[in-house]
Amino acid sequence: MNEKLLVATAIEAALNGELAASEIEKLLETPKTSAHGDWAFPCFSLAKALRKAPQQIAQDIIANIDQTNFDDIQAVGPYLNFHLNKKQVGAATIDAILKEGGKYANTDEGANRNIVIDMSSPNIAKPFSIGHLRSTVIGDSISNLYKKQGYNTVKINHLGDWGKQFGLLTAAYRMWGDEAAVKADPIPELLKLYVRVNDEAKENPEIDQAGRDWFQRLEAGDPEAHAVWKWFRDESLEAFQKIYQALDVEFDSYNGEAFYNDKMDVVVDLLEEKHLLQESQGAQIVDLEQYKLNPALIKKSDGSTLYMTRDLAAVLYRKNTYNFDKCIYAVGAEQQIHFKQLKAVLKELGFDWADDIHHVPFGLVTKDGKKFSTRKGNIVKLEDTILEADRRALAQIDAKNPDLPNKEEVAHQVGTGAVKFFDLKSDRMNGYDFDLETMVSFEGETGPYVQYTYARINSILRKAGQVTPQAGYTPNDYSWELIKLLKGYPAVIERATRELEPSVIAKHAINLAQAFNKYYANVRILESDDELSSRLALIKAVATILEEDLRILGIKAPQEM
């Protein structure tokens, strides 16, 4: 049911066609409180054409309008407030969800169009920290949103596997490394070397220069430098895969920075052809003063490349390979200037698709208010976090439902889901302080609370036995709150996709779970009467949308908890 069109058509008829329904739709507003109805029409827009006061126009429309499809229509000053026919709207909403299931609110907007998402992108030879979680889960959720709108998505894990830090790490390994120790426990051993070499390089210029030398050898294709680098990369990927498997996140490409090492000459050639390269203190730059940005550094004075060069090579490769409709970068807010420079250089090169580049920034994760730092060894390892979250979830399940089948699997869905949900529920530009106890709580605005609500509904449906949920609807205050959240779901999906904001989905899940629990506390759902099947249909529709909310966030919905 297109409610806006329903309202607009009624107004159009009352005005004898003086304003088309398509124009009226654009003017309709959502009232701030439900007491003022479901839709409001401001009559100011007609005052000039009709040469009447808005208040009088509202009264005239009320006198002529067909109220068949509405519980009430009120003229409040210059506004017309429309209260939809709750019984009709409720039944239509439930019926649509039961028929469409998780595909409710799907569209074909993106048919045959590709979205590339650059996400996760941890640095090799370093632990996967809680700080990397944000890019991973935000990017994955955005992919799910676009898929729901009919797009093909390409998730790219642009690994941090190139740069001077690998020269420093190679130097450290050659000076202090123990091959057996690294093979036995690769990432922790490499982290120790990384922290040590960064500390000592600050005091010893020779160590810093050794790092530069090793990286130059790596860029030049030196076999020894490449062999050590490849070993570090392979060990890292094996460790990362365990974490991605636990998070239930997959990628279409692991092409990281190193993949573009032989593709950067094309970028430099293009910039030279357009006469965009300038020399500055021995380095090669692109001046971006007209964009009010600092110059984009393309090559250092020693000839080595930088992030900008590789990102330009990467985006050109992605455009040629995937012909993307949008290229999205789920990367921390501290990189905003970098992506503005990237777009500006692409515009200078004459690529009109530069505006299809979208940086999706997000705030930092902190611990006790302090920023994480791999160089200082101050991190919270994501693998340890997941294991501990799962353990805490299992302890709560053991206490409440010790005979639950597959409880270890459910505990993982709840524990790991809790970590993901906590990350996604806040506006992404807001960072958060890491607090595992709050994350895994079954109470409050948490993932386990939403999952438990879903499991509770399924328990009620199982108890109902042979009674078949059938669409139909008898309004009451508690059920109408549910209907509003269900019927508004397409708008929620549209907004979350448009704003690239998964928190919109998480908040909808919380609101829907809270509204259901109020309904559950005030309505005897399983009472044997003529409305039992319609109540079951309502809660089945709620469970369907809760499960879909969780799916979009990359979280499982256990049938039992």
Confidence of residue 471 (pLDDT cuts 50, 70, 90): confident
User: With contact defined as beta carbons under 8 Å apart, do 165 and 214 qualify?
Assistant: no
What integer pLDDT is reported at residue 252 of this predicted model? 98
- Give the whole-angstrom CA distance, residue 154 versus residue 450: 29
136: nearest Cα among 436, 392, 382: 382
223-233, pLDDT tens digit by residue?
Answer: 999 999 999 99
- Give the whole-angstrom CA distance, residue 193 versus residue 188: 9
- Give the whole-angstrom CA distance, residue 82 versus residue 36: 8
CB-based contacts of 293-296 (< 8 A; 24+ apart in sequence): 293/337, 293/340, 293/341, 293/344, 294/337, 294/341, 296/341, 296/342, 296/344, 296/345
Count Cβ atoms below 10 Å from residue 130 Cβ, excluding itself: 23
- Give the whole-angstrom CA distance, residue 36 versus residue 7: 15
Query: Which tokens sit at 488?
Result: 């508004």
Characterize the bridge pairing of strands 326-330 and 114-118. Answer: parallel
Q: What is the percentage of the chain residues whose pLDDT exceeds 90?
A: 87
For the domain bounded by 382-552, which CATH number is listed? 1.10.730.10
139: nearest Cα among 484, 463, 553: 553
User: With contact defined as beta carbons under 8 Å apart, do 316 and 289 qualify?
Assistant: no
276: nearest Cα among 263, 260, 289: 289
| C-alpha dihedral sign at 410, 415, 416, 418 | positive
Q: What are phi and psi of 415, to 5 degrees?
A: -65, -55
116-134, pLDDT tens digit by residue?
Answer: 999 999 999 988 888 889 9
Q: Which residue has the tokens 């190193």?
A: 258
Which CATH superfamily hosts domain 114-258+323-367? HUPs (3.40.50.620)
pTM, whole model, 2 decimals? 0.92
What integer pLDDT is reported at residue 84 of this predicted model? 94
Sheet holding 296-299, edge to edge: 277-280, 283-286, 296-299
Q: Mention every residue, 6+ apart, whose C-beta is less than 8 A from residue 550.
A: 417, 447, 450, 451, 454, 509, 556, 557
Burial class (CB in 10 A: 0-12, 13-18, 19+), 180: exposed
- Indicate whether 460 pLDDT > 70: yes
CA distances from 316 to 162, 215, 304, 313, 394 (A): 19, 25, 20, 5, 47
What integer pLDDT is reported at residue 376 of this predicted model? 63
User: With contact defined as beta carbons under 8 Å apart, do 405 and 560 qualify?
Assistant: yes
40-62, pLDDT tens digit by residue?
Answer: 999 998 999 899 999 999 999 99
Domains 114-258+323-367 and 382-552 share a fold: no
CA distances from 394 to 386, 398, 410, 421 (A): 12, 6, 8, 17
Q: Which residue has the tokens 């990362």?
A: 240
- Indicate whether 547 pLDDT > 90: yes
235-270, pLDDT tens digit by residue?
Answer: 999 999 999 999 999 999 999 999 998 999 999 999
- Give the whole-angstrom CA distance, residue 504 versus residue 495: 8
| C-alpha dihedral sign at 135, 164, 232, 383 | negative
Confidence of residue 369 (pLDDT cuts 50, 70, 90): confident
| DSSP notation for 372-402 | -BTTTTB--BHHHHHHHHHHHHHHHHHHH-T
CA distances from 11 to 16, 25, 33, 53, 85 (A): 9, 10, 22, 17, 16
57: nearest Cα among 69, 47, 49: 47
What integer pLDDT is reported at residue 163 of this predicted model? 84
- Give the whole-angstrom CA distance, residue 277 versus residue 192: 40
CATH of 3-84, picked from 1.10.238.10, 3.40.50.460, 3.30.1180.20, 3.30.1360.70, is 3.30.1360.70
Q: In the chain, what are the domain boundaries?
A: 3-84, 114-258+323-367, 382-552
Residue-averaged pLDDT of the chain: 94
Residue 293: left if φ>0, alpha if ψ -120 to 50, beta else—which one?
beta
What integer pLDDT is reported at residue 146 of this predicted model? 98
287-299, pLDDT tens digit by residue?
Answer: 999 999 999 999 9
130: nearest Cα among 391, 416, 519: 416
| DSSP notation for 196-210 | HHHHHHHH-HHHHHH
- Give the whole-angstrom CA distance, residue 214 versus residue 224: 10
- Indicate whether 372 pLDDT > 80: no
CA distances from 239 to 123, 168, 187, 235 (A): 12, 21, 8, 6
What integer pLDDT is reported at residue 479 of this predicted model? 97
- Indicate whether 375 pLDDT > 70: no
What integer pLDDT is reported at residue 374 of this predicted model? 64
Q: Mention every residue, 6+ apart, whose C-beta is less than 8 A from residue 443.
A: 449
